[in-house]
Amino acid sequence: MAKDRGEKILRALRKTFTLPKWALSSRDPFQTLIVTIISQKTADRNTAEAFENLSKQFQITPEALANAEMNKIEESLKVAGLYRNKAKTIKQVSKIIMQKFHGDLTPILSMPFEEARKTLIQLPGVGPKTADVVLLFCAEKPTIPVDTHVNRISKRLGLAPKNGDYEAIRKSLQTLYNPKDYLAAHILMILLGRRYCKARDPLCKRCPINMFCPSRNIEDKDG
Ligand code: SF4
């Protein structure tokens, strides 16, 4: 039943949104790690700007960032929130990747999923979401990262428990979908969250999946 509803929601989202090219092209795991660290508690636009600033100053490699001057990393990240902490984390994580993994994340990504996830989570600044993003996007591992949009939307849609924590949400979603659809489910929920299912004042009346949503408010102001 829930699976059937989950499938219908995914089908409707696929009809509404096109998966962006960036989501389907292969990604460098270290760059993905850095951009995901920058994105923590930061709006997408500011994340992109901070990453671009950083890329103008340095090559985004473990070696370059391990040796980078801290104040230059901080300067590049200023537009992102918590930029001092993030600069420190980026330098630390780069150093550890150099020392422990010879500057290469590929062997970690080749490990079985749980082992790879555990190894990534031991790195500074890498929590479950960051690890899942790297594993899904860079190694096609079977996981659904739960960012702020996925968290909010899956609960509003009743696809995850209302008080569920990160793991509870991830597991609920993963039981609904086939692993080949995890990437699409993650991205399409983000697109829905940006356009319709906003944190405040969701646009339920115009939402393409409102017929499946127990939280819909069709009296919304912008409908
Ligand atoms: S109907 Fe409203 S609450 Fe439900 S998914 Fe759509 S925008 Fe979000």
> pLDDT at residue 10 above 70?
yes
For 114, residues 6+ apart whose C-beta sits below 8 A from its C-beta are none
Intervals of CATH 1.10.1670.10 along the chain: 2-22+144-212
Q: Which CATH class is domain 27-139?
A: mainly alpha
Q: What percent of the chain has pLDDT over 90?
A: 88
Cα dist. 186→66, 69, 140, 193 in Å?
31, 35, 13, 11
Whether the per-residue pLDDT at 219 is higher than 90: the answer is no
Residues with CB under 6 A from ligand 1: 153, 156-157, 196-197, 202-204, 207, 209-210, 213, 215-216
Q: Is 98 or 2 the better-scoring residue by pLDDT?
A: 98
Q: Which of 103, 181, 165 is nearest to 128 (CA)?
A: 165
Mean pLDDT of all residues in 198-215: 95
Task: Look at residue 199 and tell me whether its pLDDT is greater than 80.
Answer: yes
Q: Per residue in 99-143, pLDDT tens?
A: 999 999 999 999 999 999 999 999 999 999 999 999 999 999 999
Tokens 């979401």 locate to 129
Classify domain 2-22+144-212 at the CATH topology level: Endonuclease Iii, domain 2 (1.10.1670)
Tell me: pLDDT of 43 over 90.
no
Q: Which of 5, 190, 192, 197 maximizes ligand 1 atoms within 8 Å of its Cβ, making it the mutation to test the pocket?
A: 197
**CATH 1.10.340.30 domain residues, the chain:** 27-139
The predicted model gives 177-193 an average pLDDT of 97
Q: What is d(CA 123, CA 94) in angstroms, rounded to the nearest whole number?
A: 10
